[in-house]
Amino acid sequence: MNQTASVGHNSRSPKPVDREELRVGGAAADRLRSIVDRIERLEGEKADIATDIKEVYQEAKSSGFDNKVLRELIKIRKREAAEQEEFETILDVYRNALGM
């Protein structure tokens, strides 16, 4: 029962923000606003790019390409690129495990 109140604190953060500073105009409020703004801006850009990608696929289809095959092709190219990178990672892991 007596599990010490631990006021306004959870395990997710090193030093939870002070509630007072979160009031309008407080320092924490300013930082929060900045963070939200940046995230929303970045998500906007990300969505725009997603739209662009869709449009390219659209164009591909109009040009007579089979998008299913096209997606498969791009996926394979992506994986092959990733595999080289992963190979290096594995090498590192092995080196580490062998104490090199």
Partner DNA sequence: TAAGCATTGTCACCCC
Partner DNA sequence: GGGGTGACAATGCTTA
Query: What's the one-letter identity of residue 13?
Result: S
* Residue 12 contacts DNA per CB under 7 A: yes
Question: How many C-beta atoms lie closer than 10 Å to residue 26's C-beta?
Answer: 15
- Give 22's contacts (C-beta < 8 A, 6+ positions apart): 28, 29, 32
- Do 20 and 26 form a contact (C-beta atoms < 8 A)? yes
* Residue 67 contacts its own copies per CB under 8 A: yes
Task: Give the residue with the Cβ less far from its own copies, 11 or 25.
Answer: 11
Q: Which of residues 72-91 bind its own copies (CB under 8 A)?
A: 72-74, 76-78, 90
Structure letter (DSSP) for residue 26: S
Give the binding site for its own copies (CB under 8 A): 6-10, 12-19, 28, 31-32, 35-36, 38-40, 42-43, 45-46, 49-50, 52-53, 56-57, 59-70, 72-74, 76-78, 90, 93-94, 96-99
